[in-house]
Structure 1
């Protein structure tokens, strides 16, 4: 029983792809066994520890610093931001716990947060990682009490005589129920319940300040009592609409951009009945027949991070200069820890426009072959001149990019007699159309072929 197509699809969605060797080892596994092993590999939580101190805990406010001190502080912040970004990309690119990292990436965007403090960002990211396959309600409560989220959504300023509704609104609109399932009055009453939720400026620890908490009676989603923040979260998750909202987002992330109401309803039932445990929900999705339907294979656009991490994993790329990875993320429109706004990256087709597609198609040859795709066949005089100029540029690219793929390791995994078409089927998720098949049948070595295939529009899909 050869399940290689299904297993390749499973790893494209539940992780960042699969190597040829791994696929070959697992091709006769049942789907059930593959899913079980995937979860097993992600049992252990490996936190990121790139930033060890909180540079925001300085006694002097920024405005009181001298110009030199401000410059130093900004340099420190930039250094920490790069270190954190690099640490997470490395973790996604090398870990066996692919599913945990893929889900951490989902929650990173679900709880979109952008504060200029890498220490807080790291803490939030590690909470999302620890709970990525655990319980959604537990994660929701922990995330809501992080200094990153309290600062980003202004709950630090939410006090009984001056309620700030920012957190209360986003909690319902973006994190749980979705727009249209609560009233403006519910937001006001929820904000009153979260008054006094704050963090300690010295060490960033959560603290409940009872002196600024509104102790009055509140009416929220039809229930009345002297609610506090935890009560509001309990009421929200007891509403099945929360399960439906999360499952809709997960369906679009893991299955198809176009929601299927019947499948989402099945997912929401599983999620709700299991008290918001994420693992049973994901196991249900990955073992559902519809997950492997033709229409759900090779139809999602990889996010820039999925695209870069997938390349790293496939070709064992080592970056000597992390700035380059940051530059790629900026160019493609997704810098980790820097979502565009509180709603996160919209994802899907919005990842691709004509300029970002052009960049995406150039990146593999830039990394894998110093910027050059060797086109086989007879070159015209113009091509010859172009290629000569390109080769000159290659040295500059090597100096600038400082990325080394491990071609020996990649090629060693492939069968000696692999055909060009087999290679294309392995590297691409969508079914091959005639154009691609004709293109890959051209003569040339496997290395050149791999660069050509990863430089196609089809490689942008998973």
Structure 2
């Protein structure tokens, strides 16, 4: 087992538990132990700053009942503007916040509880549930997600009623949110669906139980029989160790390596289960484990598009005169926030990369840092087209200046005096410096030129 030195460990920690280490934090990396750096990440993430750009629910019925085509058009335009605004607002928060562990974990739960809704207020509610509980308790979060209008709507539990149960939420609750496929039967899906009958939301976007729609009959689930409701079903799922293992496996693939190590996953599951699903002890266990810092687990994971954009924004203090460009980046790279491909979320890993997306990934950083022009071409997801404005209408419409302002003075000013070019490259890139990277380092005559070349390498795509 080959280990890496302390400063490299802390850079690795920040690349996985956050969105990367800035040069302004480099002195901390040099003078802290790993345990101190982990504690600092948690301390910085104590504050919960919810997204609050959407003030309230759009009154669908008032808009649509009038029957005026212009009124309906205005409604859908407002709806799209809210969706776009929410997306950009979250990316900006991730890019600027000191609570990067909380936001990084919010991004994980955003994909774990993948959900699509055309109602931006519902989307904001759900996102804030993820953020509030991101490093808190999984059971608390699961219950709140199960009662969130966005999820109740997306998985059709609003239509789940006695005598006509809808199984969508019950199935995904087990397959994707808790114990995982192979650990339940089709009959248990049916019984679970009956337990969630009557769960819904009102016009104000508040969770309600509707007793007249709830099935009060006996249900048999995971070997137990009773007049169960939804909360009892969730308790029984969490009582199964398989749930702790399922969550731990996904977290391992998100934080450590795309290929799970069974012994490490089992150890994580023990911590999660024994803490009654508190997430903080599990994360601290991972971040302070020697195996987290093995060379085989460093610089080996492809950054998700949003992580890629956010880490670049943070590293270079990028400001966007036209924030819509960030949504064009997301769409072109295959990860538009709030629009997962399906209820299973984005598959991640090598799925992020194809010949087209890699070309854009290589070009985007240098374009952003130089205020250049970039063409976005490709075929939009039909479902995305209904929601996302100003993207992929035509080549002419999107071949525009990115209109960005990286703060080079701040970036260069934060690099400690006498820092070698090799050290700068090690901070910019997560993988070990190979010969082609060292060629860039050795031939560069100034730091800015070198950095732009480094962010244009395939190595910059890895964390």
Q: TM-score, normalised by structure 1?
A: 0.92
Contact map agreement 1:371 1:397 (CA 8 A) in 2:
no
Contact map agreement 2:252 2:265 (CA 8 A) in 1:
yes
Distance in 1 (alpha carbons) for counterparts of 2:292 and 2:43: 20
Output aligned runs, 1:147-296, within 5 Å. Answer: 147-201=149-203, 203-296=204-297
SS in 1 for 2:200: strand
* 1:69 aligned partner: 71
Distance in 1 (alpha carbons) for counterparts of 2:313 and 2:77: 28
Distance in 1 (alpha carbons) for counterparts of 2:358 and 2:249: 27
Contact map agreement 1:4 1:27 (CA 8 A) in 2:
yes
- Distance of aligned partners of 1:275 and 1:7 in 2 relative to their CA distance in 1, 3 Å threshold: same
Taking only aligned residues, the RMSD between alpha carbons, in angstroms, comes to 1.7
Deviations 1:29-63 (A, max 9, x none): 111111111101101111010110211x3334747
Distance in 2 (alpha carbons) for counterparts of 1:339 and 1:196: 27
Distance in 1 (alpha carbons) for counterparts of 2:306 and 2:67: 36
SS in 1 for 2:144: helix
SS in 2 for 1:112: coil
Establish whether residue 58 from structure 1 lines up as the match of residue 60 from structure 2: yes
Distance in 2 (alpha carbons) for counterparts of 1:341 and 1:245: 19
* 2:453 aligned partner: 452
Distance in 1 (alpha carbons) for counterparts of 2:29 and 2:351: 34
Contact map agreement 2:373 2:400 (CA 8 A) in 1:
no
- Distance of aligned partners of 1:309 and 1:150 in 2 relative to their CA distance in 1, 3 Å threshold: same
Structure 1 position 418, deviation (Å)? 3.2
Contact map agreement 1:364 1:454 (CA 8 A) in 2:
yes
Output aligned runs, 1:395-406, within 5 Å. Answer: 400-406=401-407
- Distance of aligned partners of 1:398 and 1:183 in 2 relative to their CA distance in 1, 3 Å threshold: closer
- Distance of aligned partners of 1:61 and 1:80 in 2 relative to their CA distance in 1, 3 Å threshold: closer
Structure 1 position 371, deviation (Å)? 3.1
Contact map agreement 2:54 2:120 (CA 8 A) in 1:
yes
Among 26, 32, 38, the residue aligned to 1:29: 32
Structure 1 position 431, deviation (Å)? 0.6
Contact map agreement 1:82 1:322 (CA 8 A) in 2:
no
Count residues in correspondence: 438
* 1:437 aligned partner: 438
* 1:8 aligned partner: 11
* 2:81 aligned partner: 79
Structure 1 position 8, deviation (Å)? 0.2
Structure 1 position 78, deviation (Å)? 1.3
* 2:390 aligned partner: none
Establish whether residue 118 from structure 1 lines up as the match of residue 83 from structure 2: no
- Distance of aligned partners of 1:317 and 1:398 in 2 relative to their CA distance in 1, 3 Å threshold: farther
Structure 1 position 436, deviation (Å)? 1.5
Contact map agreement 1:3 1:28 (CA 8 A) in 2:
no
Structure 1 position 66, deviation (Å)? 1.8
* 1:383 aligned partner: none
Deviations 1:267-287 (A, max 9, x none): 000000000000000000000
Q: Which structure has the larger Rg over C-alpha atoms? A: 1
Contact map agreement 2:325 2:402 (CA 8 A) in 1:
yes
23-32 vs 272-281, greater mean Cα deviation: 23-32
Distance in 2 (alpha carbons) for counterparts of 1:323 and 1:289: 41
SS in 2 for 1:441: helix
Among 18, 23, 35, the residue aligned to 1:20: 23
Among 142, 145, 148, the residue aligned to 1:143: 145
Among 128, 133, 136, the residue aligned to 2:135: 133
Deviations 1:171-216 (A, max 9, x none): 0000001111000000000000000001012x01100000010010
Output aligned runs, 1:380-395, within 5 Å. Answer: none
Distance in 2 (alpha carbons) for counterparts of 1:23 and 1:439: 22
Distance in 2 (alpha carbons) for counterparts of 1:40 and 1:291: 21
Distance in 2 (alpha carbons) for counterparts of 1:192 and 1:33: 48
